[in-house]
């Protein structure tokens, strides 16, 4: 209760702020990627993970280009398209296209191969690639994809991921809950963490926010732990934010 009171009073005591311009950056011509955490050639020992959140990549892929077939294992992989159409194929036999409003999750488990391409020849595809350490190893690989109603995130937090197959959103092998909200200017809401000991990582998709006493701008990330409630306030119109509640212990 003490931590909650501090949050509501506007003070966050345990947090880490990752400003957008401090992220790792790679430009391969066909791919431009910003890495919140260490990935590929960007290696920062102070940014290996936040709890079980291992990768948060902000990717832009040129027209008709993409990632050729490559392997994964023992990782929960979530893709959130922000603009354009992303074509996916994998060794489980899935061949799909995901776009804004869709959420894709894969449990790599014992091992999968997949590829991802920009389906369009006339526009970029922009998406977030997120990796979460699972709470079970060597599970049977699985694929999950849903389409959400974007209106359900206007001035509220729309759940897009959980640990429960019967709950809203996709599900993964981890005690994690993801939400996206799109808010009017000056709109405020509270998020109450669902599991004791979890932390939360907030990532600003558009606009400006204040969480507690900390100001955030577009593509900034903020990790918070040792609390059970946070207060979120939009400081611009059509401000959009992704909240990832995750276990802090690997």
Q: What is the pLDDT of residue 11?
A: 74
Residue 106 has pLDDT above 70, yes or no: yes
User: Span 157-185, mean pLDDT?
Assistant: 97
Model confidence at 13, pLDDT cuts 50, 70, 90, reads: confident
pTM score of the predicted model:
0.95
- Residues 199-249 have pLDDT tens digits of 999 999 999 999 999 999 999 999 999 999 999 999 999 999 999 999 999
Residue 96 has pLDDT above 90, yes or no: yes
Residue 1 has pLDDT above 90, yes or no: no
Residue 116 has pLDDT above 90, yes or no: yes
3-state secondary structure 140-180: CCEEEEEECCHHHHECCEEEEEECCCCCCCEECCCCCEEEE
Q: What is the pLDDT of residue 3?
A: 40
Which one, of 160, 51, 173, lies nearest residue 107 by Cα?
173
Other Cβ atoms within 10 Å of 73 Cβ, number: 12
Other Cβ atoms within 10 Å of 48 Cβ, number: 10
User: Span 156-183, mean pLDDT?
Assistant: 97
Beta bridge partners of 240: 182, 206
DSSP assignment letter at 205: E
Q: What are the chain's domains?
A: 2-247 (2.60.120.10)
Residue 8 has pLDDT above 50, yes or no: no
Q: What is the pLDDT of residue 10?
A: 61
């Amino acid at each position: 209760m003490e931590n909650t009171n501090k949050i509501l009073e506007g003070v966050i005591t345990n947090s880490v702020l990752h400003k957008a311009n401090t992220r790792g950056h790679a430009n391969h011509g066909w791919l431009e990627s910003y890495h919140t955490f260490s990935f590929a050639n960007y290696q920062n020992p102070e940014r290996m993970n936040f709890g079980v959140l291992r990768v948060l990549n902000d990717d832009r892929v040129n027209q008709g280009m993409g990632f050729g077939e490559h392997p994964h294992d023992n990782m929960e992989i979530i893709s959130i398209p922000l603009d354009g159409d992303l074509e996916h194929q994998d060794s489980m036999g899935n061949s799909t296209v995901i776009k804004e409003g869709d959420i894709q999750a894969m449990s790599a488990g014992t091992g999968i191969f997949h590829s991802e391409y920009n389906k369009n020849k006339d526009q970029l595809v922009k998406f977030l690639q997120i990796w979460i350490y699972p709470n079970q190893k060597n599970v049977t690989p699985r694929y999950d994809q849903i389409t959400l109603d974007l209106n359900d995130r206007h001035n509220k937090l729309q759940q897009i991921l959980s640990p429960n197959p019967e709950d809203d959103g996709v599900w993964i092998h981890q005690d994690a809950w993801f939400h996206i909200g799109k808010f009017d200017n000056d709109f405020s809401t509270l998020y109450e963490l669902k599991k004791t000991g979890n932390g939360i990582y907030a990532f600003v998709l558009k606009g400006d926010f204040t969480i507690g006493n900390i100001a955030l701008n577009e593509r900034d990330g903020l990790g918070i732990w040792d609390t059970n409630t946070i207060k979120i306030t939009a400081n611009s119109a059509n401000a959009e934010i992704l909240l990832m509640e995750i276990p802090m212990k690997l």
